[in-house]
Amino acid sequence: MTAFLEWNAEYELGVPAMDSDHRDLMEMCNHFLFLVQNHTPAAQLSDCLDRLILRTRAHFQAEERMLDRHGYPALAVHKSEHERLIRDAENLSAAIRHGNDDKSLEDIVAETSDFLRSWLLEHIRQNDRPYKPFLRSLS
């Protein structure tokens, strides 16, 4: 049984656009996990992951613009974390689509599922939550 992601108040940042995006991204992660649970072919998994990457990229750009507009002092570090997450996701998508000499497709899909279960929630906790008090201090 695949563990799905569940939204709770811990992930609320109090920035409606960002909270809405995070909920959407969580639903997209859950859709990928649902497809895995239902033994969906690799090409469809990769397509789903590519859509998630596109949506994530758009979210990251919006978040970076917002933080830049408010002069967030840790923006450079935040952007580098965004770049790393996108790169990791793109590598996993490519491995699902084209294979990997070192790992079976089953292992790659399991690694991708684990990545999706952790990246969004950990990113919100460790990288997004620090900007919450900063933005509140501007009000």
Domain at 61, CATH number? 1.20.120.50
Q: Is residue 45 situated within a structural domain?
A: yes
Asked if 56 and 86 count as a contact pair (C-beta separation under 8 A), the reply is: yes
Q: Is residue 27 situated within a structural domain?
A: yes
Q: Is residue 125 situated within a structural domain?
A: yes
Q: What is the pLDDT of residue 37?
A: 94
Q: Is residue 64 situated within a structural domain?
A: yes
Cα–Cα nearest to 29, from 94, 118, 97, 122: 118
Number of domain units in the chain: 1
Q: Is residue 5 situated within a structural domain?
A: no
pLDDT per position as a tens digit, 58-81: 999 999 999 999 999 999 999 999
Q: Residue 63 is part of which domain span?
A: 14-137
Q: Is residue 3 situated within a structural domain?
A: no
pTM of the model: 0.90
Q: Is residue 130 situated within a structural domain?
A: yes
Read off the pLDDT of each residue in 117-124 and give the average, rounded to a whole number: 87
Q: What is the pLDDT of residue 139?
A: 65
